């Protein structure tokens, strides 16, 4: 080996040591600041939750923007708000932090005890939460979990409830608000009904059957209009007060419902319901997890929030992969 070659090798080695590869992971404290801001919606509430100043929160968000190369926030009135891309990134950060927190808790050793009361919309509780709650009990067997249902979809006033799973537009000023998922509706029916009266081959064919509604007819009107179906041809159908009643009627072949692939996942996976058309409409609301601002989060509340985040992260991956 020549002296020149040796020098080249030594030089390259020294450069690699002097300039290590830059980590692609943003600083954890900056991610936590983004998560706190996304949850609370204001800099001062984020600062209060983290135990730092508002200027420190702003600085951490700036550090994160520099690391990512895109803007997370923008001026909105007298304050700041997340950009659309910032909101999407904050959702991913929230789920990732939940995984980290869950892993830390799993290694803590001390079992979680006490009581936890969850208030949920009736349909979400019966059609989704009841199908997954055993996994929460497996993780926290010493925590007594109580699930209750409210009358209104956006109700969050039960004084005995620790957390609320509600449906609405995200506007609950007296609560910390965490977005779970936006609802996209599509027609669902039983396999037997799908093949009746010549089948469901085009959108207008749904009018051959009773249309099943939840409380109002807006979802069906919106889907029919988007599918270029004459609304005047639609018959009144049947209106129910509870989503579980709508699904039960659809499974029994009594008509066609507007459902989504998350709350109706159990019936779809079991083959009780099928989706004759792939066209969807965005609902005028989504599902959210709420906590009263007057109630400090307990270990049980935090555990349930993490568990829910992890489940929705997995479900989101499955839906993208076409599992349901």
pLDDT digits (tens, 9 = 90+) for 253-263: 999 999 998 88
297 contacts 291 by C-beta, under 8 angstroms: yes
Give residue-wise pLDDT tens across range 21-79: 444 678 888 888 888 888 888 888 888 878 888 888 888 888 888 888 889 888 887 78
Of 24-28, 114-118, 169-173, the range with the highest mean pLDDT is 114-118
Query: pLDDT-based confidence at 316, cuts 50/70/90?
Result: low
CATH dotted code for 28-96: 1.10.10.10
The domain made up of 114-178+285-320 is a member of CATH 3.40.190.10 = yes
Average pLDDT over the chain, rounded to an integer: 82
Which of 123-127, 265-269, 300-304, 308-312 shows the lowest mean pLDDT across its residues? Answer: 308-312
Query: pLDDT-based confidence at 10, cuts 50/70/90?
Result: very low
The residue with greater pLDDT, 280 or 317, is 280
| pLDDT computed for residue 46 by the predictor | 85
Q: Is 114 left (phi over 0), alpha (psi -120 to 50) or beta?
A: left
174 contacts 292 by C-beta, under 8 angstroms: yes
Side-chain half-sphere of 269: how many Cα atoms within 13 Å? 14
Average pLDDT over residues 123-137: 91
| pLDDT computed for residue 21 by the predictor | 41
pTM above 0.85, yes or no: no
CATH 3.40.190.10-classified regions of the chain:
114-178+285-320, 184-284
Q: Does the pLDDT at position 317 exceed 80?
A: no
Q: Does the pLDDT at position 323 exceed 80?
A: no
Q: How many angstroms separate the CA atoms of 299 and 297, rounded?
A: 7
Q: Does the pLDDT at position 170 exceed 80?
A: yes
| pLDDT computed for residue 284 by the predictor | 84
Q: Does the pLDDT at position 102 exceed 70?
A: no
CATH dotted code for 184-284: 3.40.190.10
Q: Which residues of 83-105 are buried (b: 16+ CB within 10 A; e: fewer)?
A: beebeebbbebbbebbeebbeeb
Average pLDDT over residues 144-165: 86
* Phi, psi torsion values for 132, nearest 5 degrees: -125, -10
Dig out the tokens for 251 from the structure.
């499974």
| pLDDT computed for residue 24 by the predictor | 66
């Amino acid at each position: 080996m020549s002296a020149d070659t040796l020098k080249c090798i030594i030089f390259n080695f020294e450069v690699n040591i002097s300039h290590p590869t830059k980590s692609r992971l943003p600083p954890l404290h900056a991610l936590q600041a983004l998560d706190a801001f996304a949850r609370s919606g204001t800099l001062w509430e984020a600062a209060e939750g983290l135990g730092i100043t508002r200027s420190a929160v702003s600085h951490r968000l700036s550090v994160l923007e520099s690391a990512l190369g895109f803007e997370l926030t923008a001026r909105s009135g007298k304050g700041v708000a997340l950009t659309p891309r910032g909101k999407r990134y904050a959702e991913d950060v929230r789920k990732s932090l939940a995984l980290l927190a869950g892993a830390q808790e799993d290694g803590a050793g001390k079992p979680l005890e006490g009581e936890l009361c969850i208030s949920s919309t009736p349909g979400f509780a019966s059609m989704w939460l009841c199908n997954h709650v055993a996994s929460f009990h497996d993780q926290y067997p010493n925590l007594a979990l109580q699930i209750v249902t409210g009358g209104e979809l956006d109700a969050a006033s039960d004084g005995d409830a620790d957390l609320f799973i509600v449906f609405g537009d995200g506007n609950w000023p007296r609560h910390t608000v965490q977005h779970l998922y936006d609802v996209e509706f599509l027609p669902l029916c039983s396999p037997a009904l799908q093949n009746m009266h010549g089948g469901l081959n085009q959108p207008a064919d749904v009018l051959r059957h009773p249309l099943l509604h939840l409380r109002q007819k807006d979802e069906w009107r919106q889907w029919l209009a988007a599918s270029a179906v004459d609304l005047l041809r639609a018959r009144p159908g049947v209106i129910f007060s509870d989503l579980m009643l709508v699904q039960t009627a659809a499974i029994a072949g009594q008509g066609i419902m507007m459902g989504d692939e998350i709350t109706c996942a159990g019936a779809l996976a079991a083959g009780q319901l099928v989706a004759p058309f792939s066209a969807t409409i965005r609902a005028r609301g989504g599902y959210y997890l709420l906590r009263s601002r007057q109630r400090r989060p307990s270990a049980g509340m935090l555990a349930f929030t993490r568990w829910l985040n992890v489940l929705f992260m997995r479900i989101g991956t499955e839906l993208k992969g076409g599992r349901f």
